[in-house]
Amino acid sequence: MSKKVGILVGSLRKESFSRKIARALKTLAPAALVMEEVEIGELVMYNQDFDDEGVAPSSWSVFRERMKNMDAVLFITPEYNRSVPAVLKNALDVGSRPYGQSVWDGKPGAVVSVSPGGLSGFGANHHLRQSLVFLNIPAMQQPEAYIGHAADLFDANGTLSNEKTHEFLQKFMEEFAVWIETNALKKS
Ligand code: FNR
């Protein structure tokens, strides 16, 4: 049976390397995975008052509903100051509330960090994983995905052109499909 995977990209930049990697992952995914990019840039910054007073902004409600219907979630994150960009952390926070109604609980996930630098977003990757533990997102452990030197991986059209990265990401998506199947039973 096919599984719906929400892709969350932690960059709003037009020429984002993370977004380009997300697009590549979409095309490399096995047929059993239906990959959908979920936009997070319009989400109002999390403020607990809105939930406590029952006046959640529509951007939150739409996002929560959409993510509830996903079987899995794939995070593609750049690294900002050795951590996760605010836009992605905000999406995690919005999806985690109101208390007891988290959209993340038990949903299998995977993390890909992307950077033009050589450290490949390791800090962001692992800071994100810290939140995923608390949110009870079983995050695939192997293969880990640290995509470094990102500026060298694409052709002039922004398409992934590095053969080794292509091969690795294809394998990554195959493993993720298995991970989703294995962990799907733990949902609900
Ligand atoms: C960065 N960048 C960066 N890179 C990195 O490898 N480690 C870091 O800690 C940071 N910190 C950081 C902070 C801020 C505020 C910005 C704007 C940038 C550089 C970053 O990797 C680069 O801009 C990427 O191109 C961002 O990812 P996208 O937008 O290409 O997906």
Kindly give the interhelix angle for 58-68 and 86-96, rounded to the nearest 10 degrees: 80
pLDDT tens per residue, range 95-114? 999 999 999 999 999 999 99
pLDDT tens figures, 76-94: 999 999 999 999 999 999 9
Q: Is the CB of 131 under 6 A from ligand 1?
A: no
3-state DSSP of 145-177: EEECCHHHCECCCCCECCHHHHHHHHHHHHHHH
Task: Enumerate the H helices of the chain as residue ranges.
Answer: 17-28, 48-52, 58-68, 86-96, 122-134, 163-184
Reply yes or no on whether the pLDDT at 119 is more than 60: yes
Segment 58-70, tens digit of pLDDT: 999 999 999 999 9
Choosing from 7, 19, 37, 80 the residue with most ligand 1 atoms within 8 A of its CB, the one to mutate for a pocket test is 80
pLDDT beyond 50 at 187: no
Q: Give residue limits of the domains in the chain.
A: 3-182
| Residue with CA at minimum distance from ligand 1 atom 12 | 80
Determine the atom of ligand 1 nearest the C-alpha atom of 10: 31
d(CA 86, ligand 1 centre) in Å: 12
Q: How many CA atoms lie within 13 A of 156 on its CB side?
A: 0
122 lines ligand 1 (CB under 6 A): no
Burial class of residue 44 (count of CB atoms within 10 Å of its CB; 0-12, 13-18, 19+): middle
Distance CA 61, CA 59 (A): 6
- Domain 3-182: what homologous superfamily? Flavodoxin domain (3.40.50.360)
The residue type at 119: L
- Least Cα distance to 43 among 70, 8, 17 occurs for 8
Q: What is the pLDDT of residue 186?
A: 55
Q: Atom of ligand 1 at shortest distance to CA of 12?
A: 29
Q: Token digits for 56?
A: 């959640």
